[in-house]
Structure 1
Amino acid sequence: MPSASTNYRTLLRTSGAAAFFLPTAAGRLGIAMTGIGILWLVHARTGSYAAAGLVTGGFAVADALAGPQIGRLADRFGQTRVLPGALAAHAGAVALLLTGAVPDLAAGVLAGATLPQIGALSAARWSALLSGGHTAALPTAFALEALANGMSYLAGPALVSVLGAAGRPGAGVLLAAALVVGGGLALAAQRRTAPPLTGRAERRGAGRALLRPAFLRQVALGLALGVFFGATQVSVTAYAVGRGTPEVAAWLYAAANCTNLVGGWVYGAWRHGGSPRHRQAVAAGCLAVASLPLTFLDAPLAVGATLALTGLAVPVLLILSSVLTESLVPRAVLTQAFTWGNSASAAGSAGAAAVAGRVVDAGGAHAGFGVAAGAAALMTVLAAPRPRRFSGSPGAAG
């Protein structure tokens, strides 16, 4: 796809773009490795999956709760001032975890609470860099962000698992921390592309934008997308194990992940026209329709092909959510707004894993896929454009 390559190359040739995007790519890889790295490390130390799951869950919850607060500080004081402190605290928390100087759960919670949301910081930089006459390139920039995330979560867990299986789980956690801290410090050093600080007058009342229904719908959509992810992961594993072929799960995950990358790549290269909200509704509807066959299909090839179809829609939803978030909130709270979306997705995924597990125990893998399909249907409702209220003037309705 030469046109796609040209679009992305042109975007990265924008002055200062590659200099901040490449460090964030390293940081994202580290973030994708951290959670599963903690799982491997604590299990190797205790021999208990329950203990490892508890620490990993504490890390994820702390990350979801503290992420928006770090984003808020970045909006208020600037990325270059906030990042070094957060990264130093994260490095200290990982050191405590590796040395066992404090209980594993406490160290895991500290590591999650100090993990900077590098993806949100990068998205905020794209918004600042492409402001003015270049806003039409934002969907391509956010598609590049989605591709970086997809590649990180494809490669990162695999790399940590290789190190863990080789008997070096601590090396996985250490490497993850090195990538997060190194990428974050390199990002902080890029002062020229850091979003400009807003004045006191602009900050006054800006937080109220985070309570507007239009933005809250995007957060709710992120939560529902997280439910879709969590329920699908549990259901795929249950499906493969239930057939007596647990190795099939890896191929099914790969089918969805690979088309996820393809969908994001193609959408980023496409010339975008029309309303992002309408496109988001269409993407959510396509995901809902594509998910329904999973509730009754039995053949692995058919299940894999259906998961591949769902993978095409997911990155489009993520990209459009970023585009709409950028347009809905003022710059004074933009980083915080991006982190709320990420946190909602993480919370939805964690909660759905527990709920879907109970549903699968009661009704099998197909029932678990029903939870994922229900989440996709909810996304369709949330993304549907709202009719305008009639105001008595021509063209007010529609």
Structure 2
Amino acid sequence: MPSASANYRTLLRTSGAAAFFLPAAVGRLGIAMTGIGIVWLVHARTGSYAAAGLVTGGFAVADAVAGPQIGRLVDRFGQTRVLPYALGAHAGAVALLLAGAVPDLVAGVLVGATLPQLSALSAARWSALLSGERAAALPAAFALEALTNGASYMAGPALVSVLGAAGRPGAGVLLAAALVVGGGLALAVQRRTEPPLTGHAERRHAGRALLRSAFLRQVALGLTLGVFFGAVQVSVAAYAVGRGTPDAAALLYVAFNCTNLVGGWAYGAWRHGGSPRRRQAAAAACLTLASIPLTFLDAPLAVGATLALTGLAVPVLLILASVLTESAVPRAVLTQAFTWGNSASAAGIAGAAAIAGRAVDASGAHGGFGVAAGAAAVMTVLALGGPRGSLLDMPKSPAPTEATTPNPQPPRVDWSTPLTGPDQGS
């Protein structure tokens, strides 16, 4: 079996792959820096963490709502045409925030609303590039995407925090914007790997695919995975503070995040058949079983080891969500579909802060970890939910295996057939 490193090197040697993947990776580092950069900037300006949290919340909500709309424009007009406008608007919004020309909350909302989802654009390019006989490499490509996102969200906030602690919070926001705009523009000029546009008639009908239960299930899984992430973040902090060792929270986060990267790296090395849907259910079940001990363990070493175990399952769920989303919708709405998954996860993280916070107030850190374990259990139920025979599903071919995941070129279903009766999407 080839190593993960060999797998990824082979992927990046695919003609045109590195030329779009590397700029997107640079831009994603900037995206990972933006939210925490706003926290540092607004706090330095106002002296209030409440104000910083409000502006950052507005940024996150706007990003989650506007992201799929930008994805919809990309599916209609293409990455090369849409990205420069979105990036220009984003640069203008960041300039307003830095200059204080408008209220911070307004500026934060504008920054979030104009932030392009570069991970979705990169995933759509992989789908177009690895079509036909090369479709077996898609799980590895999505593993590479998950690894890049994980590394970005480990390095980006740390870099911004260093700048903020040095008394230069504006520099963090400016650097984040420079990486987003620079990486996005470099991605936009890669015309050769841009996913081909589809016809007007196909676009008109393809949106119905976003109402299929196969896709909605992945959105729901993204939402609950976001709840898991958010609950773990709150609960780890509460656990460390409750023991009188707040510095231990950083070590626990490292244990979780490092095994997250290891799990994604290892999964990308595999070459196996079987149903991605079954693998998703198995990964969710493993996450549930690994999370349950967190609801009663007290020893720091035991908690750290258990968090490390949960971290192994998370990237597998992310990768399989991309695989199943890619196979559930036609190319005409693929970018939009990927961004809906990202938005759902962001919404789950935001909502989990409030839910887990109440649980922690009532039952301590164990109560917050209980919210995380509950979210994992819901993921398992969703993944096990029978897609066949559902009233929401439209006719489709049998579920693909990971070794033969097809490129979702239409028609996956007969889009010209009116959706009536038991096959109609809701």
**TM-score calculated relative to the size of structure 2:** 0.91
2:50 — aligned with what? 50
Residue 175 (structure 2) pairs with residue 175 (structure 1):
yes
- Contact kept, 8 Å, 1:278 with 1:385, in 2: the verdict is no
| DSSP-derived class of the 2:268 partner | helix
Compute the displacement of 1:388 (Å): 3.9
In the TM superposition, 1:201-350 aligns within 5 A as 201-350=201-350
Query: Which letter maps to 2:270?
Result: W
SS in 2 for 1:191: coil
Structure 1 residue 128: deviation in Å?
0.2
**Residues of 2 paired with 1:321 and 1:300: CA distance?**
32
Aligned counterpart, 2:26: 26
Distance 1:65 1:388 in 2: 30
Question: Which amino acid in 1 is paired with 2:74?
Answer: A
* Amino acid aligned to 1:146: A
1:320 maps to amino acid: L
Deviation at 1:272, TM superposition (A): 2.5
Q: 1:135 to 1:82 in 2, by over 3 A?
A: same
Match of 2:11 in 1: 11
C-alpha distance in 1 between matches for 2:389 and 2:11: 39
Match of 1:154 in 2: 154
Q: In structure 2, the residue corresponding to 1:220 is in which secondary structure?
A: helix
Residue 279 and residue 46 in structure 1: after superposition, are their counterparts in 2 closer, same or farther (change >3 A)? same
**1:23 counterpart letter in structure 2:** P
Deviations 1:225-256 (A, max 9, x none): 00000000000000000000000000000000
Contact 2:292 2:370 in 1 (8 A): yes
Indicate if the aligned counterparts of 2:214 and 2:387 stay in contact, CA closer than 8 A. no
How far off its partner does 1:273 sit? 1.1
Q: Distance in 2 between matches of 1:192 and 1:112?
A: 29
Aligned to 1:393: none
Is the 1:230–1:352 Cα contact (8 Å) retained in structure 2?
yes
CA contact (8 A) 1:35 1:60 kept: yes
Q: How many pairs were matched up?
A: 391
Once the two structures are superposed, residues 6-57 of structure 1 have per-residue CA deviations (whole angstroms, 9 ceiling, x without a partner) of 1110000000000000001100100000000000000000000000000000
CA distance in 1, matches of 2:242, 2:312: 26
The answer for the alignment partner of 2:113 in structure 1 is 113
How many percent identity over aligned positions? 86
RMSD: 1.2
Match of 1:131 in 2: 131
For 2:387 and 2:98, the matched residues in 1 are separated by: 54
Equivalent-residue separation in structure 2 for 1:112 and 1:239 (angstroms): 31
Q: What do the CA deviations read for 1:182-232 (whole angstroms, capped 9, x no partner)? A: 000000010000000001122121000000111101000000000000000
SS in 2 for 1:160: helix
Residue 359 of structure 1 contacts residue 368 of structure 1 at CA under 8 Å; is this kept in 2?
yes
Unmatched runs of 5 consecutive residues or more in structure 2:
391-397, 399-426
Is 1:72 aligned to residue 72 of structure 2?
yes
Contact 1:67–1:115 (CA<8 Å) still a contact in 2?
Answer: yes
Q: CA deviation at 1:132?
A: 1.2
In 1, the alpha carbon distance for the partners of 2:389 and 2:187 equals 44
Do 2:263 and 2:312's aligned partners in 1 also have CA atoms closer than 8 Å? yes
Residue 230 of structure 2 aligns to which amino acid in structure 1?
A: G
Q: 1:385 to 1:276 in 2, by over 3 A?
A: farther
Contact kept in structure 1, 2:2 and 2:269, CA below 8 Å: no
For residues 370-381 of structure 1, what are the structure 2 equivalents within 5 Å?
370-381=370-381
Change in CA separation of 1:247 and 1:196 when aligned onto 2, cut-off 3 Å: same
Whether contact under 8 Å (1:37, 1:172) holds in the other structure is yes
Q: In the TM superposition, what is the alpha-carbon distance from 1:363 to its structure 2 partner?
A: 1.1
| Aligned amino acid, residue 36 of structure 1 | I
Amino acid at match of 2:46: T
**In 2: Cα distance, 1:250 partner to 1:2 partner:** 34
Give the aligned residue type for 1:152: S
Q: Partners of 1:256 and 1:203 in 2: how far apart?
A: 41
**Structure with the higher helix share, 1 or 2:** 1
Please give the alpha-carbon distance, in whole angstroms, between the structure 1 residues aligned to 2:232 and 2:276: 26
Counterparts of 1:388 and 1:148, CA distance in 2: 34
- In 2, the alpha carbon distance for the partners of 1:387 and 1:145 equals 26
Q: Verify the 8 A CA contact 2:267 2:316 in the aligned structure 1.
A: yes
Q: Could you tell me how far 1:389 is from its partner in structure 2?
A: 4.1
1:361 aligned partner: 361
Distance 1:387 1:261 in 2: 30
Equivalent AA in structure 2 for residue 167 of structure 1? G
Query: Is the 2:64–2:343 Cα contact (8 Å) retained in structure 1?
Result: yes
Give distance in 2, aligned partners of 1:387 and 1:77: 32
Instruction: State the Cα distance separating 1:385 from its structure 2 match.
Output: 4.9
Q: What is the alpha-carbon distance in structure 1 between the residues aligned to residue 277 and residue 55 of structure 2?
A: 38
Task: Tell me whether 1:142 sits opposite 2:142 in the alignment.
Answer: yes
TM-score (norm 1): 0.97
AA of the residue aligned to 1:42: V
